Amino acid sequence: MFSQVSRSSAISSSLKTTTTLVTAVNKQFGAPAKFEQTAGEPQPAKLTTDTLNKFQPKLFCVQTKTGISTAAQVRYAHTDLQVPDFGYYRREGVKSPNAKSGGTEASRKNFTYLVVGAGMVGTAYTAKTMVTELVSSMSASADVLALAKIEVKLSEIPEGKNMVFKWRGKPLFVRHRTAAEIQAEQSVDLSSLRHAEHDNERVQKDEWLVVLGVCTHLGCVPIANSGDYGGYYCPCHGSHYDAAGRIRKGPAPLNLEVPAHTFVDEGTLVVG
């Protein structure tokens, strides 16, 4: 218990304080409770390194530390382990542990080089065969190759006439020129030509002119023995060619193309 008495400020010099200490009494109400602890099912032991070490014998057992707080047991019997044997894969010259392998090193390397070299040759041959087959599959078929060259019988073309053949999907003009046409074309002034070429540069034989019948302007097919110069005339846009296949008038920029051709004999022409 704590009590305090205070007077007014006029007589504040006199103060009285009284303190009384009373001991508290702790009383228990009701009957005391009784607690009993029952044992549950035992937990299974964890098979860890620490728990297994507890079952090892402590006497005459040599141990070594292999890590932080980690013990490793030294095994005294290894009857349950099978040591691997690689003798089947080893060569005879290196099986003996007492013999030096340097004496058979050359022969062993030669065999390895032989196997590797044979494998590389086989791989190269296989790759060559595959590439050849691939390229052959992309080449022209037999019927297309048959049309790659055309044979013309010159005896069937009379003098002064022009015959049309089909070669590689394009019209082929073979013209049997007269002596007057040959003389006229050879005497043309090259300075007057848009695409200057002499007549001798466009023919192998003076009497035979071989050109493709495709106008160099837009790919039309000219008409033979027509036009202002008696050669070829393209009616699409008015291009005029002479008897040598040279452009003389109109929008065409170049002369008619001369394909590769040969004269096998006096009466046979092969184009292509």
Query: Which residue in 223, 205, 219 sits closest to 251, CA to CA?
Result: 219
Is 195 tagged catalytic? no
Count of C-beta atoms within a 10 Å radius of residue 152 = 21
Q: Find the catalytic residue in 198, 217, 237, 261.
A: 237
Provide the β-strand partners of residue 227.
Answer: none
Integer angstrom CA distances of residue 146 from 51, 96, 163, 270: 90, 71, 21, 13
Q: What is the DSSP string of 211-263?
A: EE---TTTS--PEET-STTSSEEETTTTEEE-TTS-EEESS--SPPP---EEE
Q: Which residues are catalytic?
A: 237
